[in-house]
Chain A
Amino acid sequence: MAYDLIVVGGGPGGYVCAIRAAQLGMKVACVEKRDTLGGTCLNVGCIPSKALLQSSHLFEMAGHGFSAHGIKVDGLAADLDVMMGRKAKVVDELTKGIAFLFRKNKVDHVHGTARVVSAHEVVVGDRRLQTKAVVIATGSESAPLPGVDVDEERIVTSTGALSLTSVPRKMVVIGAGVIGLELGSVWRRLGAEVTVVEFLDFILPPMDGEVRKIMLRLLQRQGMAFRLGHSVTAAVREGEGVKVTVEPVQGGGAETLAADIVLLAIGRRPHAEGLDALKLDRDPRGFIVVDRRFCTNIPGIHAIGDVIGGAMLAHKAEDEGVAVAEILAGGAGHVNYDVIPSVVYTWPEVGAVGRTEEQLKEAGIAFTVGKFPFSANARAKCNADADGFAKILADARTDRILGAHIVGPQAGDLIAEVSVAMEFGASAEDIARSCHAHPSLAEAVREAALAVAGRAVHA
């Protein structure tokens, strides 16, 4: 029996694409080599890391935050096994949830590693599946670094860092990106001495400059150490530990850091296993080249998600999955790459959408900044959680919102309001004139919008 569509990869891009295609009446199979669906995100990425971030955050609150609320805690201890068990349960439930959604939408889940022979044939084990079209959603994998050989025991990627059996005493994180800072935060909260080594002179490279600055300060205040402008030239196992050699990028003497665990988190590269039979166009970094309709150079073969590059985010892949399914069904699927939010789940969180001040200056666009600190937000004060700010950047002439950058409690959820506004081409005034509940964290967003016109009420 022939399928209308075979999706290769059951991550956020692939499984969403499969479900959307099935909703549109297609006969769909989704090939996934893992036992469970959900890809990196659900199994060894966003979801388990957020589970551990929540557990470790509560632990830290109990240790350092509760006393301010008048709650005394004696004999505080972290039970890592229970923590990991809870994480595993979250992952298990969510991956099973996708399996349920597949059954509900009559998507065939084919377990195994796919080999795409052509736009019309995909081989999985000894099965030859016929199809009318193929969507490749094979995702990405941790990028390697010469001199640092990952063993997932002592020298780990995010995958290993999510399953450590004990809290390391000393941890070196290579790369001050989102993954490094999040997982570094998890283990620092649980008691590790964490040093983050970053090649660049700042953390969170694609973020707004002001966000990078305040986050560095806040993370340092929490006890995270940074070696900015340093590169790691080697990480060598020595007994139970690892010796990490770091050198200043500007030149100077090398230095050795001792660590129990080294986390390699310098980025991710496309994962394109099982596609060798195809002569797919790739860019110099290995990403599959697609056009605006996600067509590769081979008619009938489409690609979405991390494997085509761009923002390597689950929700970007999901939107592409929906778009390509709708395009295959004859619709007008579209992804607005100008309005894809990104979130860092440290504490405080970072939520960002649209362009940064630096990008706007470089593009020569005149803009107005509206900024409001959470220290002036009633709810944040009540919560004793008032670090950070909400910032809205709007076109100086038309007031159209060009970007928003929030550092603060629940920033990842607060940014959604601005994303919707931007999707509708809204102005800062539109948000400013929309009633927001009091007291709420979202009021900070409204005040930032008011501040664009220089008329924040509470600042």
Chain B
Amino acid sequence: MTQDITVPTLGESVTEATVAKWFKAVGDSIRADEPLVELETDKVTVEVSAPNAGVLTHIMAETGAIVAVGALLGRVAVSTAKGAPPPPVVPTPPAPAAVAVAAAPEHPLSPAVRRIVTEGGLDASAIPATGKDGRLTKEDVVNFQAAPPPPPAAAAAPREERVPMTRLRRRIAERLKEAQNTAAMLTTFNEVDMTGILALRDRYRESFEKRHGVRVGFMSFFVKACVAALKEFPAVNASIDGNDLVYKNHYDIGVAVGTAQGLVVPVVRGADALSFAEVEKTIGLLGHKARDGKLSMDELTGGTFTITNGGVYGSLMSTPILNPPQSGILGMHKVQQRPMVMADGAIQARPMMYIALSYDHRVIDGREAVSFLVRVKESCEDPARLLLDV
């Protein structure tokens, strides 16, 4: 019995994918649920697994092929009830005589060529031949030897390398440029004195971790601070749809995660209803999935606001680009001890973080944007405000 391997449903508005990699070759035995092939879409890479044990008999879509949802990727001969996989399918080996012919050089080498190749320890097959019917002439060998020796392996890298953009990279490029071209985008800055968050975190680090099984980080504070500010300034949580402004009463916060394949932005849904611990857990889970390339389409779509943390890479200040159709994105940065002037005029070293809000001025007024960012700053500097909703 054979079973077709087809392209699964990939998610909302995704109709095609690129075959990124086959883990199995034709003739390989496979176990049930073993990944067979990896597909790459605009947003995620998806592994397609074999539903039953058997032997891969056909590959219909080679690596690099673009396949539509439902298209045939390959075919598996499913194991019999006894459980023994059928004998692997191997290509018919060529007749031995043909092998013998192919193994011999196509043309015997001329006497002079034979000498130079032997003396120089050259691989005759590696020398471009210009002679009759592809024969190697002494001229070919002399020219080959006279050619500048290939630079050592370390320097052997080509001056440039041209590779097709992955679907993910193409999609990132399109969306970032779309955001810049569409939105009236600008950025406002502020800074957060992290003393309060750090003190709180230090005080409850152990008990929080013991209780929730997850460490308390900055992200939960900023997510909660943003949700509070979004509630206060609904325009920042809104988007433009045609001639309408769509104000969202749900707070689905995208958290940008850098992965080997590129930037992905999984979404923490209903962040307003989550506890700090739940936010941390959710972000941790999504981050893992992102780095493993296992995020589902649902986990990547539908955010209303985004937080990006360039601080993890050391960024002190940046202007994030919007994640359309969203109207706001908060940029977090590196925490740095800086001399600050206190209310009493004293100068103290304080752990400071610059924060940036890029926003779509078509939707959000400057007053709202600046006030939003001030509100985030205040909530982070004094997390008790979040508790009291002030």
Contact = CB atoms under 8 A, between A and B. Distances in A.
Interface of A: 395, 397-400, 423-427, 429-430, 432-434
B295 to A, nearest CB: 58
Given A425-B132, A434-B111, 4 more contacts: A397-B142, A400-B137, A426-B110, A427-B137
B112 interface: yes
Contact of B137 (A397, A424, A433): A424
12 contacts: A399-B142, A424-B135, A425-B135, A425-B139, A426-B110, A426-B137, A429-B111, A430-B113, A432-B112, A433-B111, A433-B112, A434-B111
A314 B387 CA distance: 108
B99 to A, nearest CB: 28
A398 to B, nearest CB: 4
A425 B142 CA distance: 13
Contacts of A424: 110, 131-132, 135, 137
Contact of A399 (B135, B138, B146): B138
**9 shortest interchain CB distances as A-B pairs:** A427-B138, A433-B111, A429-B112, A425-B137, A398-B139, A400-B139, A425-B131, A398-B142, A430-B112
Contact of A430 (B132, B138, B140, B143): B138
A395 B139 CA distance: 9
A433 B110 CA distance: 9
B312 to A, nearest CB: 60
Contacts, number: 50
B130 interface: yes
Nearest to A427: B138
Residue picked from B139, B142, B146, most chain A C-beta under 10 Å:
B139
Interface in B67-110: 110
A425 B109 CA distance: 12
Contacts of A397: 142, 146
A434 B115 CA distance: 12
Interface of B: 110-113, 115, 130-132, 135, 137-140, 142-143, 146
Nearest to B138: A427
A333 to B, nearest CB: 15
Residue picked from A395, A400, A427, A434, most chain B C-beta under 10 Å:
A427
Contacts of B111: 429-430, 433-434
Nearest to B129: A425
Contacts of A433: 111-112, 115
A332 to B, nearest CB: 12
A423 B132 contact: yes
B109 to A, nearest CB: 10
A427 B132 contact: no
A397 B110 CA distance: 18
Nearest to B107: A424
Given A397-B146, A398-B143, A426 B138 contact: yes
Contacts of B110: 424, 426-427, 430
A352 to B, nearest CB: 21
B112 to A, nearest CB: 4
A423 B111 CA distance: 16
A429 B131 contact: no
A425 B115 contact: no
A397 B142 CA distance: 8
B135 to A, nearest CB: 6
A425 B112 contact: no
Nearest to A399: B138
Contacts of A427: 110, 112, 137-139
A432 B139 CA distance: 15
B146 A425 contact: no
Contacts of A434: 111
Contacts of B137: 400, 424-427
Nearest to B114: A433
A20 B110 CA distance: 31
A427 to B, nearest CB: 3
Contacts of B142: 397-399
Contacts of A430: 110-113, 138
Nearest to A395: B139
Contacts of A429: 111-112, 115, 138
Residue picked from B115, B131, B132, B137, most chain A C-beta under 10 Å:
B137
A295 B316 CA distance: 76
A399 B130 contact: no
Nearest to A433: B111
A395 B110 CA distance: 17
B143 A425 contact: no
A90 to B, nearest CB: 35
Contacts of A423: 132
Nearest to B146: A397
B390 to A, nearest CB: 89
A73 B111 CA distance: 49
A347 B137 CA distance: 35
A352 B112 CA distance: 23
A434 B146 CA distance: 25
A429 B113 CA distance: 9
A398 B115 CA distance: 14
B132 A399 contact: no
A179 B130 CA distance: 38
Nearest to B143: A398
Contacts of B131: 424-425
B115 A400 contact: no
Contacts of A398: 138-139, 142-143
A424 B107 CA distance: 12
Contacts of B143: 398
Contacts of B113: 430
A400 B138 contact: yes
Contacts of B132: 423-425
B274 to A, nearest CB: 76
A423 B132 CA distance: 8
A397 B138 CA distance: 10
A39 to B, nearest CB: 30
A190 B110 CA distance: 47
